[in-house]
Amino acid sequence: MLNILFPKYCPGCDHPLTTAKLLACVACRNALPLTRFHQTGDPTFVDKFYGRLPLVFGTALLHYHKKGLAQKLIHAFKYNGNKAIGCWLATWLGQELAALQIADQITAVVPVPLHPKKQRQRGYNQAAVIAHQIAKCLDVPVWERILLKTTHLKAQAKKNQWDRWSHAHTFVLNPKESIPPSHLLLVDDVVTTGATLEACGLLLTKTPGIQLSCASIAIA
């Protein structure tokens, strides 16, 4: 238990950490593949959603590569209970966002929801952890209840036979919540294909008067 709370090893390189306060070693911190999209005006994030989801602004803190540093840190955050590493990266991103002009326009931060069953297993929704840190930096609320994740059984075709059932995950707008006109910052941990942000973002922008921006810790 103590090892989970105070990891002794750097999640980036597995080298021992000198103090429990350190979340990643100095070498890994210095080697983090920062995108700097939001400092340089690089449109890569927004371009990824071109024709799929209208974004006012979008950015990620890190580049995500298979077996790369960002993947290792996010893996520790998502699957090894290392919540602190997620908080650290999210605060980093939040502070950078707070320095941008766009920050004044954001009304609320919305995390991509996690299915309640998965959240119970993991103990937290990683996107919500990120959302709370960013919201703190931007001094805006987190709207955690406006999107829900549901599961339904879906038949899956396999070699012309409908012989398998799988759980299909879908997002819905919470019918119990109403969304006032606002500029929402939708956040997730990693953007790979962009399908998750697209699905959530399309639901949010269905509501009249909603403007949408997105941010994630990493982008592939």
With binding defined as CB under 5 A, does residue 10 bind Zn ion?
yes
Q: Could you say whether residue 13 binds Zn ion (CB under 5 A)?
A: yes
Q: Which is nearer to Zn ion, 19 or 193 (CB)?
A: 19
Q: Does 155 bind Zn ion (CB under 5 A)?
A: no
Burial 140-168 (b: 16+ CB within 10 A, else e): bebbbebbbbeeeeeeeeeeeeeeeeeee
Residues 167, 154 contacting (CB under 8 angstroms): yes
For Zn ion, which stretch binds (CB under 5 A), given 2-10, 42-50, 116-124, 210-218?
2-10
- Which helix (H) or strand (E) segment is 40 a member of? helix 37-40
Q: Considering the complex, what minimum distance in angstroms separates the CB of residue 124 from Zn ion?
A: 24
| Residue 34 or 100 having the CB closest to Zn ion | 34
Q: Nearest 5°: CA angle at 136, between 211 and 89? A: 95
Binding residues for Zn ion, how many (CB under 5 A)?
Answer: 5
Give the residue, chosen from 23, 28, 61, 128, that forms a contact with Zn ion under the rule CB under 5 A: 28
127: helix, strand or coil:
helix
Contact mark string toward Zn ion, 91..110, x via CB under 5 A: --------------------
Instruction: Establish if 25 lies at the interface with Zn ion (CB under 5 A).
Output: yes
| Residue 91 near residue 83, CB atoms below 8 Å | no
Element (DSSP H or E) covering residue 213: strand 210-219
Contacting residues toward Zn ion, per CB under 5 A: 10, 12-13, 25, 28
